[in-house]
Amino acid sequence: MAKFRLSAFADEYSPALDRQLEGLSSFGIDKIELRGVDGKNVSELTPNEAKTVKKKLDAAGVTLSAVGSPLGKVDISGDIAAHIELSKRVAETANILGADKVRGFSFYKTEGKREAVIDALGKMLDVFCGAGLLFCHENEKNIYGDTAERCLDLKETFGDRLGVVFDHANFIQCGVEPYPHAFSLLGRSLTYMHIKDADADGTVVPAGEGVGKIYETLSEVDKMYPGEVILTLEPHLHVFSGLDALEHGEKSKLRGTYGTNEEAFAAAVGALRSVIEEIKK
């Protein structure tokens, strides 16, 4: 049976790192996927800023499950050389922070350009493998790897050099059935999961309240993986600082049920823990 371990994008609780750490502590979560830090994206941190962040994390007893970078969220026809240089900066930051994984994507406007995607992603993987880090691909709207089949293509192409992040809501928003379809293709290759659910129209909802079949997915993960499995909460239940910058083109639909980021974050934590408790009965 799996040991589910919670992490979170705590910038959805607060843009301020100190408040993020307070929020994580209040929910008994000791891991973070670091993305937004005091109004800056993690990819923008200087080495000195990263060292300051590391001291705060250590003092709070919080470790990184991954660096939530925006790498790969650019058009494939853009300046890839500059993106490789940004990858080097992110790799340096990840090493300072003590992370072993970096989350990223597989480029926009890729129709008919698979070879360019493979070439660019391969160069990024060279950077991270050389830095002792695992680059983990997330299925995201409108990128090359937005379907389960193309995610599998990337995994089969790069093998152990590429990690797999599975996001139910993103699949739903692309018209892909997360379970059983996507999971049947990717389930045995999971590195970790992002937890957010969605209704059939793509509106993001707490885990177990949408059509993603998160209970069924995690029940199967529980049987397949005997060790620790990271479940990173990405609530997307309330507009938060930096949301617009994360999305390209079509925006996520938010139900608008929650009055504050803190309330939305609490709902996301509670829903996931309820699903896990039901599985572990």
With a CB cutoff of 8 Å and minimum separation 6, the contacts of 156 are none
| CA 271 from centre of chain | 18
Cα radius of gyration rounded to whole Å, the chain: 17
Above 80 in pLDDT, residue 255? no
Q: For 106-149, what is each residue's pLDDT tens digit?
A: 999 999 999 999 999 999 999 999 999 999 999 999 999 999 99
Q: pLDDT at position 87, please? A: 98
- Asked whether the predicted pLDDT for residue 254 surpasses 80, the reply is no
240 pLDDT higher than 80: no
**Does the pLDDT of residue 101 top 70, yes or no?**
yes
Each residue's pLDDT tens digit, 171-197: 999 999 999 999 999 999 999 999 999
* Per-residue model confidence as pLDDT tens digits over 65-88: 999 999 999 999 999 999 999 999
Q: Please name each of the domains of the chain with its CATH number.
A: 3-279 (3.20.20.150)
Euclidean distance between CA atoms 266 and 173, whole angstroms: 23
